[in-house]
Amino acid sequence: MIDPKIALVMARPRPEINADHDMPLLLRALSEAGADAISAEWDDPGVDWSEFDLAVIRSTWDYTWRKPEFLDWVDRCSRATRLANPPEVVRWSSDKSYLGTLAAAGVPVVRTRYLAPGDPADLPDDHEYVLKPVIGAGARYAARYRPEQHDEAHDQVARMHAEGLTAILQPYMSGIDATGERALVFVRGQFLHAIRKNAVLSPDVPFDQRKVAHPGLQPWSPTAADLAVAERALATVPGSSDLLYARVDLVDNADGTPLVMELELVEPNLFLAAHPGSMSTVVQAITTAAAAAAAQRGTRRHAEDDRAVHERR
């Protein structure tokens, strides 16, 4: 029996793209488990995605400023092979307007207002706030402002609107300075592990300055309340039963209760380097999904061969 062939999908390396420290670890673990796995760049025109039984999006961390091109690739790739996460989930979660969907479903989320191009940028006068793009990752184009910094904030909104981006306006959750931001990772719908990190946005750091995405990262044990909110959020995702992986990022409200800051369902860092004991679970989930996809492809090929033989008769 031929081992299923797996592609771990990444961005083309360049200075503005963070290094994927989990990629070599995951490739080695898959190889040691007997899997036929390689890394492949999503925008490499030389890759024939139909050669793979499963393509797993891992670190396509440039998609936020190349979204139309990336979603075109998602469509092409998903027609050629099985894609994880599924294309419907990737499309749904690639735009943070899903926070409004979660809130409407009763999931506790950070209060969010959207400022589309042409909308007036009415900014708070009585509390710190955060501006960031509705399509973004790694704190790109994100900044924290005090009420007296409206001029700088308006400049950021104008810049995003000029680039066709909708801005997100949220209160700065000061609890993050005490309890940090938590990221809860799930595989096949089951909680795997969590990390805690310090606040990413510091005062007076310009929105277009590069930030450290995961400062002070450390393994973390989530509370029962954290788990409950994360599971509730994932249950709201269309097609959640088909998720190979998921990450839910939480912060604390003023009363100490957890709120969803965002979902990471496209290309989340899974923090495997911080939790090496989780590697076997991730490898098993990937290889099982690849084997199932390979079996389905084989069944489909046999059906096509049988149909061709019948037609020749």
Q: Is the pLDDT of residue 310 over 70?
A: no
Confidence of residue 311 (pLDDT cuts 50, 70, 90): low
Tell me, what's the pLDDT at 140?
77
Task: Compute the average pLDDT of residues 151-174.
Answer: 94
Which active-site residues does the annotation give? 210, 247, 264
The per-residue DSSP string of the chain comes to -PPPEEEEEEPPP-TTS---THHHHHHHHHHHTT-EEEEEETT-TT--GGG-SEEEEEE-TTGGGSHHHHHHHHHHHHHHSEEES-HHHHHHHTSTTHHHHHHHTT--B---EEE-TTS-----SSS-EEEEESS--TTTT-EEE-GGGHHHHHHHHHHHHHTTPPEEEEE--TTHHHH-EEEEEEETTEEEEEEEE--SPPTT--TTS---SSTT-EEE---HHHHHHHHHHHHHSTTGGG-SEEEEEEEE-TTS-EEEEEEE-SS----TTT-GGGHHHHHHHHHHHHHHHHHHHHHHHHHHHHHHHHHH-
Confidence of residue 212 (pLDDT cuts 50, 70, 90): confident
Task: Compute the average pLDDT of residues 200-211.
Answer: 80
